[in-house]
Copies of this chain bind each other. A is one copy, B any other.
Amino acid sequence: MNVEILGLIAGALTAIASMPQLIKVIKTKNVEDISWLMLVILISGLSLWVWYGFEQNELPIILSNSFAVLVNLTLLICYFIFRDKK
């Protein structure tokens, strides 16, 4: 199999798996199970993966980690919006 297609399928699967938490948080507006510190660590790590992808010139790495950064940044924003609305 073409290795770039392999990476894109891998990225699509890990992206799909990240959506339910985001949908749940937006629907329920409940963020008490979320740790903002862990989100910040995760977003830092994912951003370094994007950087790594650019250094290695690998599209699947860049696309999947950029998507994950977006999802987790949205979760972080939701956290600060919904945190005080209890």
Which residues of A are at the interface with B, using a C-beta cutoff of 8 A? 3, 6-7, 9-17, 20, 33, 35, 38-39, 41-42, 44-46, 48-49, 51-52, 55-56, 58, 60-61
Collect the chain B residues with CB atoms within 8 Å of residue A41's CB: 13, 16-17
Chain copies in complex: 2
With A7-B49, A14-B45, A17-B45 already in contact, 12 other A-B pairs whose C-beta atoms are closer than 8 Å = A7-B52, A9-B48, A11-B45, A12-B45, A13-B45, A14-B42, A14-B49, A17-B41, A17-B42, A20-B35, A20-B38, A33-B33
Tell me the complex Cα distance, A32–B32, Å.
15
Q: How far is the CA of A12 from the CA of B11 in the complex (A)?
A: 19
